[in-house]
Structure 1
């Protein structure tokens, strides 16, 4: 295999570094003892150790449209690099929720946004319970708050970034690492969790190679089997129209409504919706 230089996934064209502080740029080099990083007339040399290099870029003031060149066994050029303010977006689904999912209440507002200096890097979750192994930053683009890219950006992050951009007048970088449904324990180091009890069993359970994949496979099979066992004849017929004898209910409600009663089985929920105009394209119906 030919020698090559490779940057960690977050370092790509269009990225945003934090202004007014030193920044790190890192990656892999397989054929030389050192690499050279060039930016704004500055040259930075980084030694390669164990196939890895790590260089410090001196603090830069707010800037736009810069180029960074990394020269090792191969040459990498990052274009349209900015220095501004960078924020980490952590949390659950309310932070992860993309702009395309809030169009029902914010379509006009989102359509007006054309702010290419607001950019987001998506840090996809990596499930690794073996602490001796290192997770790599994924290869993912920096998406901009412009038409064609904006819909996958965090809605909460987007509106926050728009406000900060208006106040500060500098590029805004968002690093989205939110994960819907994650527990607070999942965000905490095991050593810290030990203050509140023994949480070691779960990481140990999934540490062996392939244990997590096997767990997910078994869970999906179990869910599929549950659906199979709960299938009833006439599903297609039931889905075409509201059957005679269906009860009217007010939402929100509990079902069954009678206190002390229980129910096991499937519940069909029907709601008639009238559309004034024929849809002009693909449509989405939110049901929860």
Structure 2
């Protein structure tokens, strides 16, 4: 009895494959059924056969960006994939700010939608589905960017692709978008990273249920990430954190997420993420500032980058409507750090060190070119051993920030922009804001 060769949804008409790479293609067929894949760009025939579980996979070689091409898959039947492009593929995930579409109400919505006719940008948007166990196929399909498709796809991802193509106009961009508003980070992680000895385990299993999204560990990973593992990509884009605000374990949790995804893709892929924006959360406290600082600390991982967006925050709306700036900043980071085609400063000023000096504390920043304040508001605070913070005065001297406070004779800790809805006023020459931070002073 014969079975027809078949493919997961990510391999279909209109797909984008990573250029200049060894790309894995996989699917299903009758056990022992011979399977061959013939791409039109090199007309080579790559052969394998299905195993006893009816699964097959093989690796094909792609060339430089271009298309459209065709890919033929032959078993006992033949599949012909058309309108295939070779370019750059990025995996975009997170919660509502990554999911947010133009239709939600981005800046200049109607104008942006009307001009979104870019046939060499393609979206693969996975459906919102959960599963208790890892699945073999995601629900989704490739779409060409038109006004009608752009309006219902991730605005951040779209603007990321647009910026890439401003610099590399002949390179198609594929955007795999797996995002779900309201989700905490743990739903996007494989179950094997959770155990009783992990600091974030109890927080994850005790989380209150939501009316709008899953909150149990691995629920979306199983259905919206796992089926796509192995699809050759350039890197990851991530915008999430609002649903983990105030959790002291977020740094460990987020670090584990990045490391687990890289392990599953078997490559230390670039991972660029957006720091959550200042927002007037309910109640008192500075728990959102803590989360922003924990996100900053994840930059200790190699090949990561963080976009700070406090300057485009909408303090009364957790969803900033200026998604163009967000996507562009992510793209600029990729263009400089991943592709090495952009020069200049694309990073925010980043706290590097603090030391005690005669007049207070001297702070050194990376990416401190033309460091300046945009307002006269004092956002630095200093504390002694008692941990009580007092507002401090700050001035910039030769690219360094000198901070002092007469109420603290022996400073031990310093923090900046420490509040749920506090927007940074320290910028560099690229007009990028410094991140919230809190550090000890050696």
Q: TM-score, normalised by structure 2?
A: 0.43
Greater displacement, 55-64 / 135-144? 135-144
Distance in structure 1 (CA, Å) of the matches to 2:2 and 2:139: 21
> 1:8 maps to which residue?
8
Report deviation, 1:32: 5.1
Cα offset for 1:98? 1.7
Distance 1:141 1:190 in 2: 26
Alignment deviations for residues 47-98 of structure 1 (CA, whole Å, 9 cap, x no partner):
2112111010113211211000000121100001011001111110011012
Q: Distance in 1 between matches of 2:139 and 2:63?
A: 25
Using the TM superposition, give the Cα deviation of residue 202 of structure 1 relative to its aligned residue in structure 2, in angstroms: 7.3
Distance 1:198 1:159 in 2: 35
> Which position in structure 1 is the counterpart of 2:30?
30
Q: What corresponds to 1:18 in structure 2?
A: 18
8 A Cα contact 1:4 1:31, kept in partner = no
The 3 A distance-change label for structure 1 pair 6 and 167 is same
Give me the whole-angstrom Cα distance separating, in 2, the residues matched to 1:59 and 1:137: 23
Alpha-carbon distance change, 42 to 136 in structure 1, aligned in 2, over 3 angstroms: same
2:182 corresponds in structure 1 to: 181
CA distance in 1, matches of 2:130, 2:180: 12
C-alpha displacement at 1:109, in angstroms? 2.3
Report if the CA contact (8 A) 2:8-2:26 is conserved: yes
Post-superposition offset of 1:145: 1.4
CA contact (8 A) 1:12 1:78 kept: yes
Question: Does the CA contact (< 8 Å) of 1:119 and 1:173 recur in 2?
Answer: yes
Q: 2:116 aligns with which of 109, 113, 116?
A: 113
1:16: how far off? 0.3
Residue pairs, 1:118-137, within 5 angstroms: 118-130=121-133, 134-137=134-137
Shift of 1:193: 4.0
Residues 48 and 179 of structure 1: is their aligned pair in 2 closer, same or farther, counting only changes over 3 Å?
Answer: same
Indicate the residue corresponding to 1:258 in structure 2: none
In structure 1, C-alpha distance between the alignment counterparts of 2:174 and 2:100, rounded to whole Å: 17
Partner of 1:99: 102
**Quick one: which of 52, 55, 80 aligns to 2:83?**
80
Q: 1:2 to 1:45 in 2, by over 3 A?
A: closer
Matched, 1:66 2:69: yes
Which is greater in Rg? 1
Give the match for residue 46 of structure 1.
48
Q: In the alignment, what sits opposite 1:269?
A: none
Distance in 1 between residues matched to 2:28 and 2:206, nearest whole Å? 33
CA distance, structure 1, for counterparts of residue 18 and residue 25 of structure 2: 12
TM-superposed CA distance for 1:149, in Å, is 2.3
CA RMSD in angstroms, aligned pairs only? 2.8
CA contact (8 A) 1:118 1:161 kept: yes
